Amino acid sequence: MNPDLVVPWPADAAETHRRNGCWLGRPLGRLPWEWAGRWGDRVAIVDGERRLTYRDLAASVDRLAENLLGLGLRRHDAVLVQLPNVAEFVVVTLACLRVGVVPVMMLPPHREYELSSIGAHVDARAVVVPDEWRGHDHQDLAVRVAEALPSPARVLVVGDEVRPGCHDVRHLARPDGDERRRRRALDAQAPPSSDVALFLLSGGTTGVPKVIGRTHDDYEYNIRRSADACGFGEGTVYLAVLPAGHNFPLASPGILGTLHSGGRVVLVPTPNPAVVFPAVEAERVTVTSAVPAVALRWVAAAEDTRHDLSSLRFVHVGGSVLSPSVAERIGPALGCRVQQVYGMAEGLICYTPTDAPPEVAHTTQGRPISPYDELRVVDERGHPVRPGEVGELLTRGPYTPRGYYGVPEQNAVSFTSDGFYRTGDLVRLTAEGDVVVCGRVKDLINRAGEKVSAGEIETLVQELPAVAEAAAIAAPDPEVGERVCLFVRPHPGRPPSLDEIAAALTARGVAAFKIPERLEIIRDMPHTPVGKPDKPALRALLADLD
Ligand code: J2J
């Protein structure tokens, strides 16, 4: 990646964040040994039968970090990390941070389209994948993606069958006892804490890849404050269920918040209750996080489970709207409390307090983790609304960067001139300062917490020969909250079918969660005065059809 394309923090803001004790000047890659110093023999990570102590983790991270350098990777080089919830996800991420290589948090369902466009945008120099995942050959995918990237890129693979030409992550991360020398050598090349540590993907990329560069300074603060807000400590046993590359399970407080607190991270590959409940029982899990669709699935399954879930104290629920009626059912069904989380990869994170009364925990999305978070609720013209009224939330603060990487035109739209991020969420603030999410103005579909940009789908579908015009909207759904519904105005002749559109997008290498699940053929597309599809009119039309 090109550090010149990172939107810098203004010098005065950076100075303030340092002075306020938010930014401590610690590169994240130093943390594994700090943790090992405090909790060396305690188990840090559980992945199936495998258990890594804090010392094992630090030693593996260093070994892999040294080998990344050996493969030619250097500070500022971006690496696409597409791994499921396995121990190597943590080792790879921390090894990158150790030497200033920048992991880009891809998701397991991503395919050529996402990997190639993001990879080109950040000029990726390596791709890290599992050999195979849920029946898909990721090694083959990574080789194809790497060949097409603008710069030469390595392929690193986690699995038993690493092909010639690819590199075996498990082998590269195997500690060999030469810890001290290596540790000193790596300490000497730690990146400055003001560097971008990792790239997160924005929910709802608009076709222009929107990647968020989080610095060591700002992300460490985010992790520390999140862990604090959720009462994490040495007794925390966190179950990572959601895909680890999401900001939520990664750092809200999630995996990194647990490790920063001396707790234990248990990784499972799926939210399926048949896997989650036995893991809760076996590891005495105290806290986990879920999107509402997953929490709902657990509530239903908990009714007749024979597994002992009594260790569970909290479930963090966020990523999409949790209705109060569902929120009420989670606690009694799982025998724990609910903490709502309203967060975004762009920065701002809110939690309901651990001791919140049910009316707060069930009906609000919490309060910001930092006293230095600034929240502004504004009307369409950008003017502040009256206290308690609904408007768009703008936010600025010590862990909300001032722009996406390398997209100045997009930044002019997504950020105000004084550095506030436009969340696109409609919220109101209660008298106590809690955020209540009321809707959104951004054009995306939130499918079980996965954000799908309407514009991205429309651009892809419009490339199909049978399609004259396409508009994607959210179709409400009891299971996943929203599904992608496509309105298509076809060219004269036989209109395309949903299956044909799905097959065409799949062939382009588009992730499955973005593929439209409903199609309405429309001869007369309603338009706004500027000639764009009129989304409110389409939503009304869809409601009439149901
Ligand atoms: C309603 N909408 C919500 C909530 C996020 C923690 C938790 C979630 C995310 C996340 C995250 C919501 N109720 N409780 O990064 O660290 C919607 C909003 C928001 C967008 C951000 C974290 N919690 N949302 O979901 O970057 O629309 O982050 O702007 O994927 O999700 O999406 P994303």
36 falls in which pLDDT band (50, 70, 90)? Answer: very high
> Residues 410, 462: one domain?
no
Same domain as 168, residue 246: no
Number of structural domains the chain divides into: 3
> Which residue type, as a one-letter code, is found at position 193?
S
Does residue 205 have a pLDDT over 60? no
> 66 C-alpha vs ligand 1 centroid, how far in Å?
35
Average of per-residue pLDDT values in the chain: 96
Cβ partners under 8 Å of residue 478, min gap 6: none
Which domain covers residue 96, as residue numbers? 28-191
Ligand 1 geometric centre to CA of 490 (Å) = 34
Task: For ligand 1, atom 2, name the residue with the nearest CA.
Answer: 320
> How many angstroms does the Cα of residue 157 sit away from the middle of ligand 1?
30
Torsion sign, CA atoms 397, 399, 400, 402: positive
What ipTM was estimated for this complex?
A: 0.99
Q: How far apart are alpha carbons 227 and 236 in whole angstroms?
A: 10
Ligand 1 atom at minimal distance to the Cα of residue 451: 30
pTM: 0.97
CB 247 less than 6 A from any atom of ligand 1: yes
179 and 255, same domain (yes or no): no
pLDDT(208) > 90:
no
Do 267 and 187 reside in the same domain of the chain? Answer: no
Question: What whole-number distance in Å separates Cα of residue 373 and Cα of residue 324?
Answer: 26
- Identify whether the C-beta of residue 44 lies closer than 8 Å to the C-beta of residue 264: yes
How does DSSP classify residue 162? P
User: Do the domain assignments include residue 235?
Assistant: yes
Q: Based on the fold, state whether residues 407 and 510 are members of the same structural domain.
A: no
Instruction: Give yes or no: residues 412 and 470 share one domain.
Output: no
The pLDDT value recorded for residue 546 is 84
CA atoms within 13 A on the CB side of 453: 16
The ligand 1 atom nearest the CA atom of 251: 16
Q: Are residues 172 and 319 in the same domain?
A: no
Residue 318 CB–ligand 1 contact under 6 Å: yes
* 407 and 306 in a common domain: yes
Q: Output Rg (C-alpha) for the chain, integer angstroms.
A: 23
> Is 81 contained in some domain?
yes
Cα–Cα distance between 499 and 519 in angstroms, integer?
Answer: 9
Query: Whose CA is closest to atom 15 on ligand 1?
Result: 344
Q: What is the pLDDT of residue 177?
A: 79
Same domain, 360 and 230: yes
Average pLDDT over residues 296-313: 96
Q: How many Å lie between the centroid of ligand 1 and the Cα of residue 221?
A: 19
Q: At residue 544, does pLDDT exceed 80?
A: yes
Which tens digits make up the pLDDT trace of 190-199? 999 999 999 9
Judgement on whether residues 402 and 510 belong to the same structural domain of the protein:
no
Encode pLDDT of 459-505 as tens digits: 999 999 999 999 999 999 999 999 999 999 999 999 999 999 999 99
Which pair of tokens denotes residue 300? 């239903």
d(CA 453, CA 201): 12
Mean pLDDT (whole number) for 129-144: 98
Does 11 map to a domain?
A: no
Measured CA to CA, the distance from residue 321 to residue 340 in angstroms comes to 10
Confidence of residue 209 (pLDDT cuts 50, 70, 90): confident
Q: Is the pLDDT of residue 457 over 60?
A: yes
> What is the residue with the minimal CA distance to atom 5 of ligand 1?
319
**CB of 338 closer than 8 Å to CB of 361:** yes
The model's confidence at residue 178, banded by pLDDT at 50, 70 and 90, is: confident
Same domain, 184 and 289: no
Query: What integer pLDDT is reported at residue 98 of this predicted model?
Result: 98
Q: Which amino acid is at 232?
A: F
- 3-state percent helix, strand, coil for the chain, nearest multiple of 5: 35, 25, 40
384 in any annotated domain:
no
How far apart are the CA of 425 and the centre of ligand 1, in A? 10
Q: What residue ranges in 173-319 does DSSP mark as E strands?
A: 196-201, 211-215, 237-240, 264-267, 287-290, 314-318
Secondary structure class of 321 (helix, strand, coil): coil
Instruction: Report pLDDT digits (tens) over 77-117.
Output: 999 999 999 999 999 999 999 999 999 999 999 999 999 99
The enclosing domain of 141 has a CATH number of 3.40.50.980
The closest of 217, 289, 242, 243 to 105, measured between CA atoms, is 243
In a domain, 214, yes or no: no
Q: Please tell me if the CB atom of residue 400 comes closer than 6 angstroms to any atom of ligand 1.
A: no
Same domain, yes or no, for 168 and 111? yes
Task: Check residue 204 and give its pLDDT.
Answer: 63
Instruction: List, for residues 235-277, the tens digit of each pLDDT value.
Output: 999 999 999 999 999 999 999 999 999 999 999 999 999 999 9
pLDDT confidence of residue 460: 95
Ligand 1 atom nearest to 252, measured from its CA: 16
Closest-lying ligand 1 atom to the alpha carbon of residue 200: 26
- CATH number, domain of 229, equals 3.40.50.12780
Confidence check: pLDDT of 206 > 70: no
Pocket test for ligand 1, best of 199, 326, 344 (most atoms within 8 A of CB): 344
